Chain A
Amino acid sequence: MELFLQQLINGIVQGSIYALIALGYTMVYGVLRLINFAHGDVFMVGAFVGFYTAAAFKISEPSLGALFLVMTSAMCAAAILGILIERFAYRPVRKFSRLTSLITAIGVSLLLEYLAQFFFGATPKSFPTVLEIKNINITSNVTISNDSVLIIVVSILLMLVLNIIVFKTKLGKAMRAVSFNLDVAKLMGINTDFVISFTFALGSALAAAAGILYSVHFTKIDPLMGLLTGLKAFVAAVLGGIGNITGAVLGGLLLGIAEIMVSAYISSSYKDVFAFMILILVLIVKPAGLLGSAAQEKV
């Protein structure tokens, strides 16, 4: 029983990371109907920015302030990166088919990965300790570390903040309008370009936050870290209903728990296969995901 509980906790922590990244995917898809393949790599860039910030400020002792500094700089850098990518790679192709945008997104993703490998080197780096890791004992055999708690708390917090922004602010209303119909939103006087840039900035900042939390928890960063994690986060977003914020978090948690359970009770080698199978199953059976609503296709 305790083993199960421990595995459950492992799953929730893993799932929260997926949730954070999935939030970004879901937002951008909701507004632009674009699967931003490069999102996972923004996650990676966030982690690296954090790494170099820590090095630049010569952070040697862990403290909450250090964590805050690192996270803020990563989120800012990522937001700027997101805006740049949208402006120079996605906006020019927006007028073409969605396929073109998808291909461009794949291109940007690969570009980021290989540029990172070229400039940062392929050797994984150790993320400096910005937070002191303490284990909290729930029972004698079940533990959770304080950074895991942080991850869970931050994910839920950001989900709530995002919900407030999207449903309770004017900007959020604009975002929802753009996601319904871009051209009508324009006609209504909404500066769609600004709204879209804002969405990207927000999503990228979230990815960077996830990147920092991930690095604090797992301590190892490398240029290709965004690839698989990003893909799984996308699965999570689809599972929960792409375009739906609560769905992203739900999907993330479910996927994380399911993965750990498969790994623990069936076989760890099939963990990734499982994630993809979930994706395919969801898309075939209920493409709208758990919390999404099916869209009618108009002629």
Chain B
Amino acid sequence: MKSRTFLKTLLSSLFILIIFATFIACEKKDEANNNTGNNTNTSNTIKIGQYGSLTGDKATFGQSTKKGIDLALDEANKSGGLLGKQIEMIIEDNRGLQQEATTVVQKLIDKDKVIAVLGEVASTNSIAGGQVCQEKKIPMVSPSSTNPQVTQVGDYIFRVCFLDDFQGEVMAKFAANTLKVKKVAILHDNGSDYSKGLSQFFAETFKKLGGEILVDEAYQAADSDFSAQLTKIKGLNPEAIYVPGYYTQVGQIAQQARKTGITVPLMGGDGWDSQTLFDIGKDALNGCFISNHYTIEDPDPNVQSFITNFKAKFNETPDALAALAYDAARILFDAIKRANSTDPKAIRDALAQTKEFKAVTGVITISPTRDAVKSAVVLEIQNGKYKYRETIKPDAAPAQSAAVTTK
């Protein structure tokens, strides 16, 4: 009986101690932040918030994005920071959940008093976080959310990637005009708005250009067996298959497709872009095509130095998400420089006026709807490397086959 009371007292005192420590800690932190209620920064760092899915089933995307931003942050701070101060990046994990996205963005803005926010990848999370940013009038830049509704949340929300409809069109044009195929099957990820969006727009454009969609099959991200869908597709004899999914599944899909005896090329979007794709897919990917923002084969010194620095820092090749994140961060930093102030409204206005920014993923101009206007490139995969095929510009002009740069 005595030991029980002892244990009880010990545990309760420990509990009280923890709560007490938290409160004490709280106070100290608040003292360091002398703020007058709105988020103009008077401290000695520039606070920028970042939210992403660092854990959970979308963790790979969040972690790639984080690395891209890390690199940009490092470079910026090494060259003196912004407006004479160092940049402090406060990162929060929203575990892939839209509810958490709202919570963490609120924390970043209310508690950490950031003047701008970077994030997210998944459009639903971006919309959730975006709503908070719009309400609080803090500018937000999404590196890779492609659902058109994201920037429709309000005039404080921007993005640096192209939209689903554009990417879908790009591949459709390539298939119809360059590959000259008439019959295509689609295999898309049923749990991803990105994948569904792309397949939808691909189908629309492809049909408009006179092609035929034989079948539109779906899979779930948690699947690892695609034999049923692939066998079905094989039976219909398509000339190509559009697989606008993520690299986490496409590698296997390619492997299994070849196993089933499918020899026609697969096509996809920027969701394919990752070293993991090549690790898993290997030779099955030869002769496949993707639409992307950039290519690591691009001889542009900007791109090459980005790749070299990224490899040096993280020991891996950057994927499209990392590249986009890098650009998002740099555009934001550039806007802050141009605004020459830490006032969120001024930063927002500077962002809206971004023109011809030389980014790694293309030359970016921010449109009146706060989306990025840039071209897409179509790349062919051979032996674990990309070969540039052509650039497709974002207007009604048909695909232009630029001179193929030999590798």
- The reply to whether A and B meet directly (CB within 8 Å) is yes
A interface, CB within 8 angstroms of B: 3, 6-7, 10, 13-14, 114, 117-118, 121-126, 133, 135, 141, 143, 145, 214, 218-220, 222, 224-225, 227-229, 259-261, 263-264, 267-269, 271-272
Q: Which A residues are in CB contact (< 8 Å) with B218? A: 267-269
> In the complex, which of the residues A14, A145, A271 contacts B259, with contact meaning CB atoms closer than 8 Å?
A145
**Is residue B309 within 8 Å, beta carbon to beta carbon, of the partner chain?**
no
Binds A, one of B54-62, B131-139, B289-297: B54-62
**29 interchain pairs, CB-CB under 8 A:** A6-B231, A6-B260, A7-B231, A10-B227, A10-B228, A13-B227, A14-B225, A114-B55, A118-B55, A121-B59, A123-B60, A124-B248, A125-B276, A126-B251, A126-B279, A133-B259, A141-B261, A143-B259, A143-B261, A214-B224, A218-B252, A220-B224, A220-B248, A225-B224, A268-B190, A268-B217, A268-B219, A268-B229, A269-B190
Contact B60 A260, beta carbon cutoff 8 Å: no
Interface centre among A118, A123, A141, A267 (most CB of B within 10 A): A123
Which of B229, B231, B279 has the most C-beta atoms of chain A within 10 angstroms of its own C-beta? Answer: B231
Closest to B58 in A: A122
Q: Determine the distance from Cα of A33 to Cα of B251 in the docked complex, in whole angstroms.
A: 40
Given A126-B251, A269-B220, decide whether A7 and B59 contact each other with a Cβ distance below 8 A: no
Q: Is the CB of A123 within 8 A of B63?
A: yes
Residues of A within 8 A of B259 (CB): 133, 135, 143, 145
In B216-249, the 8 Å CB interface with A consists of: 217-220, 222-225, 227-229, 231-232, 235, 248
Tell me the smallest distance from the CB of B253 to a CB of chain A, in Å: 10
Known A122-B63, A228-B222, A269-B190: A219·B228 in contact at CB below 8 Å: no
A12 CB, nearest partner CB in chain B, Å: 11
CB neighbours (8 Å) of A122 from chain B are: 55-57, 59-60, 63
Count of A-B residue pairs with CB < 8 Å: 94
Report the separation of the CA atoms of residues A35 and B222 in the bound assembly, to the nearest whole angstrom: 23
In the complex, the answer to whether A126 meets B228 with C-beta atoms within 8 Å is no
Q: Which residues of A contact B276 (CB under 8 A)?
A: 123-126
> Which residues from chain A contact B214 at a C-beta distance below 8 Å?
none
How distant is the Cα of A268 from the Cα of B259 in the complex, in angstroms?
20
Which A residues lie within 8 Å of B59 (CB)? 117, 121-123
When C-beta atoms are compared, the residue in chain B nearest to A267 turns out to be B218
B353 within 8 Å of A (CB atoms): no
CB distance from B79 to the nearest CB of A (A): 31
Q: How many whole Å from B58's CB to the nearest CB in chain A?
A: 8
Q: Residue on B with the closest CB to A218? A: B224
Contact A10 B231 (CB under 8 A): yes
Instruction: Say whether B192 faces chain A, with CB atoms less than 8 Å apart.
Output: no
- Report the minimum CB–CB distance from B83 to chain A (whole Å): 36
Give Cα A228 to B224, complex, Å: 10
Q: Does B280 contact A (CB under 8 A)?
A: yes
Q: Which residues from B are CB-within-8-Å of A124?
A: 60, 248, 276, 280
Shortest distance between the CB of A46 and any CB in chain B (Å): 15
Residues of B within 8 A of A268 (CB): 190, 217-219, 228-229
Q: How far does the alpha carbon of A260 sit from the alpha carbon of B224 in the complex, in Å?
A: 12
Q: How far is the CB of A182 from chain B (nearest CB, A)?
A: 30
B367 at the interface (CB under 8 A from A): no
- Cα-based distance from A57 to B57 in the complex (angstroms): 30
Q: Which residue of A lies closest to B261 (CB)?
A: A143
Task: Specify which of B60, B225, B231 is in contact with A218 (CB 8 Å cutoff).
Answer: B225
B residues engaging A (CB < 8 A)? Answer: 55-57, 59-60, 63, 190, 217-220, 222-225, 227-229, 231-232, 235, 248, 251-252, 255, 259-261, 276, 279-280
Give the shortest distance, in Å, between B280 (CB) and chain A (any CB): 4
Which B residue's beta carbon lies closest to that of A6?
A: B231
Assembly CA distance A104 to B298 (angstroms): 53
Residues in B with CB closer than 8 Å to A3 are: 231-232, 235
Write out the residue numbers on chain B whose beta carbons fall within 8 Å of the beta carbon of A121. 59, 63
Q: Which residues of A contact B251 (CB under 8 A)?
A: 126, 219-220
Complex alpha-carbon distance, A264 and B259, angstroms: 17
- Residues on the B chain within 8 Å of A225, using CB: 224
- Bound Cα distance A7, B223 (Å): 16
Cross-chain contact A219 with B255 (CB below 8 angstroms): yes
8 smallest A-B Cβ distances: which pairs? A122-B59, A263-B228, A126-B279, A10-B227, A126-B280, A264-B228, A123-B60, A218-B224
Q: Which of A117, A133, A264, A268 has the most CB of B within 10 A?
A: A268
Provide the bound-state CA to CA distance between A214 and B223, in Å.
13
A145 to B257 CA separation, bound complex (whole angstroms)? 13
In the complex the two chains form, is A10's CB within 8 Å of B225's CB?
yes
Q: How far is the CA of A219 from the CA of B231 in the complex (A)?
A: 19
Once bound together, how far apart are the Cα atoms of A145 and B256, in whole Å?
A: 10
Chain A residues, CB < 8 A from B279: 125-126
- Which B residues touch A271, using CB under 8 A? 220, 223, 228
**C-alpha gap A264/B324 in the complex (Å):** 37
Q: What is the CA–CA distance of A7 and B265 in the complex, to the nearest angstrom? A: 22
Closest residue to B249 on the A side, CB-wise? A220
A7–B228 contact, CB under 8 A?
yes
Complex CA gap A224/B224 in Å reads 12
Please give, as numbers and ranges, the residues of chain A lying within 8 Å of B255 by CB-CB distance: 219
Residues of A within 8 A of B260 (CB): 6, 143
Q: How far is the CB of B363 from chain A (nearest CB, A)?
A: 30
Residue in A3, A13, A220, A259 whose Cβ sees the most chain B Cβ within 10 Å: A220
Bound complex: CA of A123 vs CA of B59, how far in Å?
Answer: 7
Report A-chain residues with C-beta under 8 Å of the C-beta of B225.
10, 14, 218, 260
CA distance A181 to B63 in the complex (A): 51
- A268 and B228 CA atoms in complex are apart in Å by 8
B60 proximity list for chain A (CB < 8 A): 122-124
Complexed CA–CA distance, A121 and B229 (Å): 29
Select the residue from A122, A135, A269 with max chain B CB neighbours within 10 A.
Answer: A122
How far is the CB of A217 from the nearest CB of chain B, in Å? 9
Q: Are B231 and A264 in contact (CB under 8 A)?
A: yes
- Least CB distance, A131 to chain B, in whole angstroms: 14
Residue of A nearest to B227 (CB): A10
Inside 8 A of A267's CB, which chain B residues have their CB? Answer: 218
Contacts of B220 in A (CB 8 A): 269, 271-272
Cα of A6 to Cα of B217 in the assembled complex, Å: 18
Docked pose: A229 CA to B55 CA in angstroms: 21
Given contact pairs A220-B248, A220-B251, enumerate 17 new A-B contacts (beta carbons under 8 Å). A14-B225, A114-B55, A121-B59, A121-B63, A123-B59, A124-B248, A126-B280, A141-B261, A220-B280, A222-B248, A225-B224, A228-B222, A229-B224, A259-B228, A268-B218, A268-B228, A269-B218
